[in-house]
Structure 1
Amino acid sequence: MKTIVMLNDVTDVFKADVFENLAEELTEAGFDLIFPKNADDLLDLLRKNARIGGVIFDWDHHNLVLSRAISKINGKLPVFTFINDNTILDFAFSDLAINIHFHNYILNHVTDIVDRIELKIEEYIHDLLPTFTKALFDYVHKEKYTFCTPGHMGGAAFEQSPVGSLFYDFYGENAMRSDVSISVEELGSLLDHSGPHKEAEEFIEEVFNADRSFIVTNGTSTANKIVGMYACPAGSTILVDRNCHKSITHLMMMTNLVPIYLCPTRNAYGILGGIPKHEFTKEHIQKLVDITPKATWPVHAVITNSTYDGIFYNTDYIKKILPVNSIHFDSAWVPYTNFHPIYDGKSGMGGERIEGKVIYETQSTHKLLAAFSQSSMIHVKGKINERTFNEGYMMHTTTSPLYSIVASCETAAAMMQGESGKNLMQQAIDRAINFRKEIIRLKSESPDWFFDIWQPSNINEAECWPLNPNSQWHGFPKPDEDHLYLDPIKVTVLMPGMDAQGKLDKTGIPGLVVARFLDERGIIIEKTGPYTLLFLFSMGIDETRALTLLRSLMDFKRIYDANLTIRDAMPDLYAVNPEFYVDMRIQDLAQGIHQLMIKYDLPNLMYEAFDHLPEMEMTPHEAYQEEIKGNVTECLLSEMVDKVSANMILPYPPGVPLIMPGEKVTKDNLPVLRFLEMLCERGTHYPGFETDIHGVYKNADGQYVVRVLI
């Protein structure tokens, strides 16, 4: 951060001499100087360059107005301003937090001023780092000799081998030396939350508005199990969102719980719309308890917020109305809700404590904040027994954590602190809305077809758009008022071929075809639906990436309209099976898969597949115990009726568990089997378009089979 922005727009000759001498000495001291044309140019530089270490300007020209604008971008950035002896300072108490330093226009003081500037910038860099990250960096810089784990000894072992040297060179020295042992006492302990680890968690609590926060180094799958192991005693009943992540199912396989499922709605696109309000009521829950064997009043509830596709709940309503004292919001996909006002009332940690209730929120720090993979956090609002909770925490946490993950989790929180976090989120929201508007503009200008966006017609304001019961765009039948909202940074692009009400056109372009095309051009889709593509406009998505995606969608239209061969349009797909794709053109491929959708009447089939849950013959835990005892056998998928599944069966998309371990498929669930068969048939007919279905696999004869209990 040896870069300084110097706004040298003074006209006075003496001031100009001071600025010229200052610039020369700063350059000699090793600083890089940038000279913006005006204040607007300066502010734009600050928004786009995070490595700037300081700003210099003339107070007489710009005074407090510019200082406040700089502070809104980066409140910690040192600002150096020059004043005359008779300059009047008009500061309010709120301005005292601005990191501003005043100097007089005295030519022979320039050397001293440079020393002070260098000192303040060093302090700025040092103070930027949060506690644990700073301690880790300081430890690495000490270059201590260790005789403990890890065995690569700061990378030294790698350099003793040719292949190890390649590995070392790829990741670099600091990545190796920061991989340290849990035996390093000065870094504290992640397991007993001491030292810098404890300070990091206390810092995260403040930033995320929690009473208690825990850093988890092996993902939100583990965070979810930690919460469940504490909140759900064996034998108890819990409320589970049927749209739960499979880690919740794995929790139920680990400890013997009786699940009662709350069922979300869905639209024709396969997008989950959330659990209706009435399912959160005491009356509805009592009915579920009455019809579920072994069920008692639930002790805990797990709600997915937001959904994969970016649908938020009005969490304030759920916290108050849900008659359960322990509520867990699985917010893996939205770790940013505390940092922009459009998410107020839509998160677990938002607002104040609810008397008599404990609210948990698990968040994947790595998914949409700036952290390494596997970084996750557990936030708690309410009273817990920390010693007991920590037993579950230690049960699932490694005794050899990668400290780089811990540091990245803490750094992600530091990035989101104060105005900086709000600015980062505002930029992400603005880029997402601009992209949405560009798609709509291009569609309006296209004489025949172009892609569309799943959103309301008016998106001028930055907000989470409500799914109103009288609106048609979302495709959900009469959603509850003031209940569900669409996150603007989760952008769902619509393909031609089906409308929001599920009407299939004669021709269409399934999302799989476009996703495959984009993948061959280096663009990876977060989620592909039958006629949708989901793109996440996180903070890391800059204008270049957004424009590249837009350009690639336009390229697809051009290539599709020209009806190029698969060999020319998608050479990687052609290489999967050249004999099959030898004469096929891109429109033939799209229409062939579209005809499969028509054959199976996909929209209605998806509705029917989720309308009736299979019967729970035994809990997921009991089913798993039968499996590990070997009481399972293979069964053709088509012959699964009246059999009990040993495993969870979960296709992507839409990513919702169709069948849980211990559930029996009955004749009422035939649409479930037809839906799975359609997904399998697509891969059979079109090589390269196989569907990943957890719990369904091919046997030696190429038939799709499942595991059922004997």
Structure 2
Amino acid sequence: MGPHNAFYKDEPIRELDLALTRQGFKLIYPQDANDLLKLIEHNPRICGIIFDWDEYSLELCSEIHLLNEYLPLYAFINTHSSFDVSLNEMRMALWFFEYALDAAEEIAQRIRQYTDEYIDTITPPLTKALFTYVKEGKYTFCTPGHMAGTAFQKSPVGSLFYDFFGGNALKADVSISVTELGSLLDHTGPHLEAEEYIARTFGAEQSYMVTNGTSTSNKIVGMYAAPAGSTVLIDRNCHKSLTHLLMMSNIVPIWLKPTRNALGILGGIPKREFTRESIALKVAQTENASWPVHAVITNSTYDGLLYNTQYIKETLDVPSIHFDSAWVPYTNFHPIYQGKSGMSGDRMPGKVFYETQSTHKLLAAFSQASMIHIKGDYDEQTFNEAYMMHTTTSPNYPIVASIETAAAMLRGNPGRRLINRSVERALHFRREVQRLREESEGWFFDIWQPDGIDEAECWPIQPGDEAWHGFTHADRDHMYLDPIKVTILTPGMSELGDMAAEGIPAALVAKFLDQRGVVVEKTGPYNLLFLFSIGIDKTKAMSLLRGLTEFKRAFDLNLRVKNMLPDLYAEDPDFYRNMRIQTLAAGIHNMIRQHDLPRLMLQAFDTLPEMKMTPHQAFQQQVTGNVETVSIDQLIGRVSANMILPYPPGVPLVMPGEMITEASRAVLDFLLMLCTIGEHYPGFETDIHGATLTEEGRYLVRVLKEQPSI
């Protein structure tokens, strides 16, 4: 901090300014301590603080320490300065210099040294080794063939590619033959150090870095934990990667059936489903089933509901439990998530807990970055065989380094502040929507949350609170709403499924926002999900608020579809030529009312299709060619060859080997209702994994061939 009206202080600081500038530093002079603290908070590239000890002393040091305990502090003193520094305070990165003329060069050298040590301290081991390797600029005669980007620069289009991504990104794409970096597959050298570093950061006993997403992490855990012929408990709200695991591995699934509310928001598995009595009944009712050796629970749900994981760990009588936590890699870094993650709490005798996380989804990492965390005893060599089955021998090192860097960003006070700011920003946005709703004339958007959200917390889904959450048979102290998963509600349906005479289907809002550069994470019939990750700042939050208010203004003016949703108009200009937005909203809303969407959706996920064979057996039938294609309306009585998974909600409705019967007809009725909207309104076709949409608008699915009767 700058000179303060004392000549004997001014001149040494001016000399130091010049010396540090020659060292390549940029110096900034804040107005006061508050200005400095704001600068540190919003400028992570600040690498040191120079201040006058007599004027600011330990109080300023303590405030800076709360923001970043690693940041070097340089206090200037004179011969009369007094010291009152405790042993604990001496642990700060605090150095003292005297005001003296002609000492600037030496002090600048020291500051350069301490800055380098600071950078070394905050940089994790593998990332550090990768940076060092790139700086050395070695000539390699191994893969990859672009040779640190050199090959790209020998081609016009390759040069465009090189210029876009930059030299360092390509130089860091190195071969597994580079011994200085150790081995991702053998877990040696800096890779091993990185895994140990990540395990300490996330509260695990062991962690693994995975470079093909949590889809692969889920398969790795399943391949190790569930031997062929065994039985596994699986959340019916599972990600499709777990269905693919079942298709790959010859195991018997027993489904844990979650709840849903009328809005289509994914609830959790009720407490009773975890009891020994409930599991024993499911085993007895499932052909070839034995007592489960493993269980997979989705935590959190897509819509942000977290479990009391301690209850599950204590109640579920299986040797290993896998928490698929793709959407919540940050739960170890804020007190509101305590007891709600796979790695929370202590190990338990006779049990091992796995947690898979998509580092790239809500932390700062490249796409496909994922982690596996483990707590409990397991066979490391056998687990690593499962790991190598699904891991390439040519991993992308920038992805690996981004996993480690994401972990490094969460360490210490800076990491806690990152997550805390994410929670605070989400709470602020929620309050702004509430304020706008109260001030608006007529309708405005609502938020799926309880009343009175003053403090940061995960809000419990409690019995008796159905008016806000819509889950009519909720268990006490079992499920909690994550505040950074913000679900916006549009008019048309209550949380309990009561349909209003008028409504605005959420898909219209999603299309409007998309044209303004705001992408929705998930769109339900009357709800939109937004993720307030650490990368969301005030600017982005304000853009979303502005988009919502602009939609209301345009909707109330009843603009033409052509003017309000030009991309939708382009889908079928003849159909939308004279249509106005309120007419479109009313048409889709009335269709939803006629099909009684709330009832259909609840029934579709309440009564499961009949399992005729395991997903593995069904896939074996498919690879031998024993399949045929039929229209989706012919599914009843046929065994599905693939999973059928509509977006939204993004979880399987029909599994491979399952048959929709008259008892589960609601599953087909729900699928047909989704198809009908697209048939009537171009641009609103439902994306259904496992079904092919033809140019004529028909959905085709693959089923097993019927065996001829004898």
What letter matches 1:476 in structure 2? Answer: F
How many angstroms does 1:692 deviate by? 0.7
Partner of 2:692: 697
Secondary structure at 1:557 match in 2: helix
1:539 corresponds to: 534
Residue aligning to 1:567:
562
Paired residue secondary structure (1:675): helix
Q: 2:86, 2:530 → 1: CA distance?
A: 44
Output the CA distance in 1 between the equivalents of 2:23 and 2:616: 66
2:292 is matched with which residue: 269, 277, 298?
A: 298
Query: How does 1:552-701 map onto structure 2 within 5 Å?
Result: 552-699=547-694, 701=696
Q: CA deviation at 1:699?
A: 4.5
Report whether the alignment pairs 1:179 with 2:177: no
Q: Does 1:398 align with 2:392?
A: yes
Amino acid at match of 1:388: T
Aligned residue number for residue 520 of structure 2: 525
**Corresponding residue to 1:465 among 459, 462, 466:** 459
d(CA) in 1 for partners of 2:90, 2:462: 45
Q: Which 10-residue stretch deviates more, 471-480 or 510-519?
A: 471-480
Q: 1:126 aligns with which of 120, 126, 137?
A: 120
Q: Which amino acid aligns with 1:65?
A: E
Partner residue of 1:348 out of 342, 348, 358: 342
CA distance in 2, matches of 1:185, 1:13: 56
| TM-superposition CA deviations, 1:275-296 (whole Å, max 9, x none) | 0011100011001011111110
Q: Percent identity?
A: 60
Distance 2:65 2:349 in 1: 38
Secondary structure of 2:487 counterpart: strand
Q: What amino acid is aligned across from residue 705 of structure 1 in structure 2? A: L
Deviation at 1:338, TM superposition (A): 0.6
2:45 equivalent to 1:51: yes
Alignment of 1:165-204 (within 5 A): 165-204=159-198
1:206-605 matched pairs, under 5 angstroms: 206-471=200-465, 472-605=467-600
Who is 1:10 aligned against? 4
After TM superposition, give the deviation of residue 539 of structure 1 in Å.
Answer: 0.3
Work out the CA distance in 2 between the residues paired with 1:444 and 1:697: 45
Partner of 1:3: none
Equivalent runs, 1:88-103 vs 2, <5 Å: 88-103=82-97
- Give the conservation status (yes or no) of the 8 Å contact 1:58–1:81: yes
Opposite residue 161 of structure 2, the aligned amino acid is F
Distance 1:221 1:408, change over 3 A: same
Q: Which runs of 5+ in 1 are unaligned?
A: 1-6
CA contact (8 A) 1:9 1:38 kept: no
Paired with 1:167 and 1:22, the residues of 2 have a C-alpha distance of 43
Q: Are the aligned partners of 2:3 and 2:13 in contact in 1 as well (CA < 8 Å)?
A: no
Q: Deviations over 1:192-230 (max 9, x none)?
A: 001111111010010011111000000000000000000
Give CA-to-partner distance per residue, 1:564-604, whole Å, 9 cap, x none. 11111111111111111110111111111111110111111
The one-letter code sitting in structure 2 at the alignment partner of 1:574 is: Y
CA displacement at 1:30 relative to structure 2: 2.9
- Choose which of 26, 29, 36 in structure 1 pairs with 2:23: 29
Distance 1:653 1:456 in 2: 24
Amino acid aligned to 2:549: M
Deviation at 1:704, TM superposition (A): 1.8
Could you say if the C-alpha distance between residues 684 and 37 of structure 1 is closer, same or farther in structure 2, counting changes exceeding 3 Å?
A: same
- Partner-residue secondary structure (3-state), 1:33: coil
Whichever residue aligns with residue 625 of structure 2, its letter is: G
Tell which deviates more after alignment, 147-156 or 432-441.
147-156
Contact 2:68 2:412 in 1 (8 A): no
Cα drift, residue 11 of structure 1 = 4.0
Distance 1:700 1:525 in 2: 27
Residues 679 and 697, structure 2, Cα contact 8 Å, conserved in 1: no
Which digits, 9 at most, give the CA deviation of each residue in 1:359-412, with x for residues without a partner? 000000000010000000000000110000000000000000000000000000
1:147 aligns with 2:141: yes
- CA shift, 1:238, in A, is 0.5
Task: Please give the per-residue CA displacement for 1:249-296, whole angstroms capped at 9, x wherever unaligned.
Answer: 100100111111111111111001100011100011001011111110
Deviation at 1:61, TM superposition (A): 1.5
What's the secondary structure of 2:473's corresponding residue? coil
| Range that drifts further, 68-77 or 380-389 | 68-77
SS at match of 1:82: strand
**Aligned-CA RMSD value:** 1.2
Q: Distance in 2 between matches of 1:700 and 1:343?
A: 47
For the residues of structure 2 that align with 1:701 and 1:551, how far apart are their CA atoms? 38
Please, which moves more after superposition, 466-475 or 377-386? 466-475
2:708 is matched with which residue? Answer: none
Instruction: Determine if contact 2:3/2:9 at 8 Å carries over to the other structure.
Output: no
For 1:354 and 1:94, locate their aligned partners in 2 and report how far apart those are by CA, in whole Å.
35
Deviation at 1:635, TM superposition (A): 1.8
- CA drift at 1:17: 3.1
Contact residue 178 and residue 404 of structure 1 kept, 8 A = yes
Residue 52 of structure 1: SS of its match in structure 2?
Answer: coil
Structure 1 residue runs of 4 or more that deviate by more than 4 Å after TM superposition? none
Matched residues in 2 for 1:484 and 1:432: separation?
19
User: C-alpha distance in 2, partners of 1:158/1:111?
Assistant: 43
TM-score of the superposition, structure 1-length normalised? 0.98
> 1:137 — aligned with what?
131
The secondary structure found in structure 1 opposite 2:498 is coil
Q: Equivalents in 1 of 2:215, 2:621: separation in Å?
A: 24
Distance 2:559 2:695 in 1: 36
